[in-house]
Structure 1
Amino acid sequence: MKILFASSEVVPFAKTGGLADVAGALPLALEELGEEVIVTLPRYKAITDTRFKLQRLKKDISFSLIGRNIKVYFIEKDKYFDREGLYQDKGADFKDNLERFSYYCLRSLELLKEIDFKPDIIHVHDWQASLIPVYLKTRYAQDPFFKNVRTLLTVHNIGYQGLFPKEEFPKLGLDEEVFSMEGLEYYGKINILKGGLEFSDIINTVSPTYASEIRTKEFGFGLEGVLNKRKNSLFGILNGLDYKIWNPQIDPFIAKNFSLKTLADKKKNKEDLQKTCLLPVASDIPLIGIVSRLAQQKGFDILTQAIDSICKMKLQFVILGTGDLKYHEILGGMVKIYPKVLSLHLKFDDRLAHKIYAGSDIFLMPSRYEPCGLGQMISFRYGTLPLVFKTGGLADTVNRDNGFVFEHYTKDDLIKTITKALAAYGNREKWMRLVAGAMNCNFSWEESAKKYLELYAKAKSL
């Protein structure tokens, strides 16, 4: 099968979040399964010749290789992409984002004709690539080159929709009738993601539970009506995890490599984490770790309400991440009260993240909503039991056989579940059974890729 991946960020070239990890890893897994994949990506300022060994195809297209032979084509236009940042400057969206990404979508489609790559499937990601299915069914509807080409739109986070003033609609080069309730119109504005949802052949999101949640008012961010209309074309596939990066047997960042068979060596990582975080070295005290953005979506509203009660328990707590200033201040204040319990690191630190996954006993993810979540998958592999709120991908991966789940989004239920986890930690036999259940979980990209191939086949049969 011939597949085009259209994504506005792809590891290792450009990244702001989890979308880049998926768009970098899934093509590799599909190639391993024998599929022919290419990728298109805007050429941002940070994508330099020297860093990525770029080759020139034509004056506005360069390319690089990933995997065995996957060509990543870079759409170049200095006016749009030769600037710092991908979507924003100092927290404010670029004012010309509509033009930038409509240009990227159109140029990607034209490029297919120029290199004579007729895909079976165009797999588009999030709002930045959502105009591709719109253009295919409007501007390119009569183009024989694109006959029988099918589209799959993956929604990584329904909260990001690409909203623009209706006055900008002429810039898209679409007929006026496309600005309608059945098209891109959304309460008098342009909604690019809505256009993708209306025009793509198949839609999926990054976990089965999230696919159900976004059809509700609570989680749909105003698009639940469109998603319910298209519910028979909406699916959920969990993201995979790159076990070449997240593997305690070969991880170069941790104090002592280990596996399920050499689990005793995990203690050395706990000791190393305690020393690194200036906490008392004690193997018998359960250690809770968090690696997260400090934001309400990630559960820090209820966590900060509960933090004083949690710090009074017999445990240690390491938190790594940055986010909302109010949470920085609340947690910073708690460190002064409980310096031997709580260790706070307000930064991004990849090495320390690996140490937290390897050295903690419990990994806390109290997210209010979580489309997929990778933290729990990583913690499984490191024998660190996740404690999560029952939502999205967390609900699809964590259960009583491999971790702890709370079902009411309150500080009391969070405290109660932490208390339950600490009691389990005191029962060695039960704890080791849970750790074995966690470490035996397999969320490889190969498994995800096979499910995507099923969706591609479904789209082709339409």
Structure 2
Amino acid sequence: MRVVHVASEVFPFSRSGGLGDVLGALPAQQARLGAAVTVVSPWYADIAQPVREVWRGALDAPGSVPLADVRVGELVQGGVQFVFVGLGAFDRPGLYFPDDVWRFTQFARAVLPALERVGVTPDVLHAHDWQAGLVVALGRLAGLRAVFSVHNLQYQGRWNLIDGAGWTGLPDWAFTHEGLEFHGDVNLMKAGLVFASQVTTVSPTYAQEITTPEYGEGLEGLLVRLTHEGRLSGILNGLDQDRWDPRTDADITPFADVAGKAACGVALRAEFGLDDAPILGVVSRLAEQKGMDLLIGALPELTRDWNVVVLGGGDPRLEAGLREWDAHPRVAFAQGMNEPLAHRIYAGADAFAMPSRFEPCGLSQMIAMRYGTLPVVRETGGLVDTVPHEVGFRFAGATPQALTRACAEARLTFDDRAEWTARAAEAMSLDFSWDGPTREYLGLYARVLSVPPRPVAGLEGL
């Protein structure tokens, strides 16, 4: 089976968060299980690994804007073929910018012609998030079967319909309410949802949540229909357990059990000058989605019982709010992305806070548990599916008070050393490997290939 993944980022070449982590792990595991796997992503200016250019020129791609001076590069690593598509829109350093709908529309139009240049014909396209949604629609027109994965429904790739329709290379009949049109805009997330044979999200609970007005981001009606048609499911993300392994982690003092974790706590305490109170760690994008405003609101109470170590960057207001607390003897804030420090926090903290307003899957809670660090999480999305009651501490309300109460429960449990150690040992024993999810995806691909594509309601062109 030839599987082609299309995504805006893939670790270790490009990464801003969980999407890149998934694309760094899932294709490799699929290759280990016997699939022929190709991953297509943009050829960003700051990709450091050596990529071999295999083709350069103008691509004959549908749409009103010519694709001139396109570069196609290739690299094989871990049994996976990586194909990079270079366009002028990706020559600036960095991954994401305000004109991303324009940039990723050009990328999507170039994907199928670029695959032809490297001699790859997909059996199944697997596109990820809105940046690859248009690839699903263009692939459907070319007779390809596609799976579309929603990693975060909040970001949809919208642009004014009048200005943007001609960019896409799709026929006029695709721009109706049943197609890409969404409140007068082109919606590239909707392109993936409408035209895919199967749609997945990254956890079973999030698959249910996005069919409701609270989490559906205006697309809940379509998602309810997909559910009724048997086309929407949730497959929980796995964790790269080689990359996140406390027994071999080069960024910490390695350990194999809860007792061995103590040295990492001593080192983290010394690094930030913390006292003997237990450590509550946070490694997160600083955004209201992640509940970081709730964390800041809870700090006056949390610092009574906890040292709080936060690593992250994002919303300038939240960064400023944490900097105001950085002078507190029990608060340490490190701004930005720093993977070695993230490893030290996961290993050295006692508990780990994720007060997310919504969380499609989340990897941080899985990493924390693998390192014997007990999560304090809001009951939403993948946090429900991964944090057992007998291990972590869950709360329902998206308020500082609800977070404070859950942390108070954790603090009381921490004082019962036998109970805390048992929970930490259970956390370290949980299996979050990619093996199970990978087999689910391969089974889904097989079902997609076994039946003809469904007609798309209201779109007579298919």
Task: Report the TM-score when normalising by structure 2.
Answer: 0.90
How many percent of aligned residue pairs carry the same amino acid?
Answer: 40
Q: Deviation of residue 196 (structure 1)? A: 1.2
- What CA deviation, in whole Å up to 9, does each residue of 1:177-231 have, x standing for no partner? 1110110101111111111101110000111111111111111111111111111
**2:204 aligns to what?**
208
Contact 2:55 2:117 in 1 (8 A): no
**1:303 aligns to what?**
295
| Structure 1 segment 213-362 matched on structure 2, within 5 A | 213-231=209-227, 232-254=230-252, 256-260=253-257, 263-280=258-275, 282=276, 285-313=277-305, 315-336=306-327, 338-339=328-329, 341-362=330-351
SS at match of 2:193: helix
Q: Deviation of residue 115 (structure 1)? A: 4.3
Change (3 A) 1:183 1:355: same
- What CA deviation, in whole Å up to 9, does each residue of 1:59-87 have, x standing for no partner? 5322111213x221122333x32223333
User: What is the alpha-carbon distance in structure 1 between the residues aligned to residue 326 and residue 73 of structure 2?
Assistant: 50
SS at match of 1:312: helix
**2:159 aligns to what?**
164
- Aligned counterpart for 1:437 among listed residues 420, 426, 436: 426
Change (3 A) 1:100 1:303: closer
| Structure 1 segment 393-432 matched on structure 2, within 5 A | 393-432=382-421
| Structure 1 segment 370-385 matched on structure 2, within 5 A | 370-385=359-374
Contact 1:363 1:385 in 2 (8 A): yes
* Worse-superposed segment, 422-431 or 388-397: 422-431
Contact 2:109 2:168 in 1 (8 A): no
**2:73 corresponds to 1:62:** yes
**2:459 aligns to what?**
none
User: What is the alpha-carbon distance in structure 2 between the residues aligned to residue 275 and residue 77 of structure 1?
Assistant: 47
Contact 1:126 1:155 in 2 (8 A): yes
SS at match of 1:276: helix
SS at match of 2:281: strand
Q: Deviation of residue 10 (structure 1)? A: 1.4
- What CA deviation, in whole Å up to 9, does each residue of 1:302-322 have, x standing for no partner? 222221111123x22211112
**1:181 aligns to what?**
177
Change (3 A) 1:58 1:363: same
Q: Deviation of residue 117 (structure 1)? A: 2.9
Contact 1:308 1:334 in 2 (8 A): no
SS at match of 1:74: strand
Contact 2:358 2:380 in 1 (8 A): yes
User: What is the alpha-carbon distance in structure 2 between the residues aligned to residue 195 and residue 409 of structure 1?
Assistant: 32
**2:64 corresponds to 1:75:** no
Change (3 A) 1:122 1:360: same
**2:135 corresponds to 1:132:** yes
Q: Deviation of residue 353 (structure 1)? A: 1.1
Change (3 A) 1:172 1:55: closer
**2:103 aligns to what?**
100
SS at match of 1:137: helix
Q: Deviation of residue 30 (structure 1)? A: 0.2
Q: Deviation of residue 42 (structure 1)? A: 2.0
- What CA deviation, in whole Å up to 9, does each residue of 1:291-336 have, x standing for no partner? 11222111122222221111123x2221111233333333333344
Q: Deviation of residue 114 (structure 1)? A: 4.4
Contact 2:140 2:146 in 1 (8 A): no
Give the residue type in structure 2 aligned to 1:128: Q
Contact 2:291 2:354 in 1 (8 A): yes
**2:87 corresponds to 1:84:** no
**1:143 aligns to what?**
none
User: What is the alpha-carbon distance in structure 2 between the residues aligned to residue 191 and residue 454 of structure 1?
Assistant: 29
* Aligned CA-pair RMSD: 1.8
Q: Deviation of residue 53 (structure 1)? A: 4.1
User: What is the alpha-carbon distance in structure 1 between the residues aligned to residue 123 and residue 155 of structure 2?
Assistant: 27
User: For structure 1, which runs of at least 5 residues remain unmatched after alignment?
Assistant: 141-145
**2:117 corresponds to 1:109:** no
- What CA deviation, in whole Å up to 9, does each residue of 1:394-429 have, x standing for no partner? 111012222111122222221111111111111122
User: What is the alpha-carbon distance in structure 1 between the residues aligned to residue 7 and residue 386 of structure 2?
Assistant: 26
User: What is the alpha-carbon distance in structure 1 between the residues aligned to residue 180 and residue 108 of structure 2?
Assistant: 16
* Worse-superposed segment, 407-416 or 112-121: 112-121
Q: Deviation of residue 233 (structure 1)? A: 0.7
Task: Report the TM-score when normalising by structure 1.
Answer: 0.90
Give the residue type in structure 2 aligned to 1:63: E
**1:31 aligns to what?**
31
SS at match of 2:408: helix
- What CA deviation, in whole Å up to 9, does each residue of 1:206-262 have, x standing for no partner? 1111111111111111111111111121111111111122111111111x21112xx
Give the residue type in structure 1 aligned to 2:76: L
Contact 2:313 2:336 in 1 (8 A): yes
SS at match of 1:37: strand
* Worse-superposed segment, 372-381 or 343-352: 343-352
Q: Deviation of residue 267 (structure 1)? A: 1.0
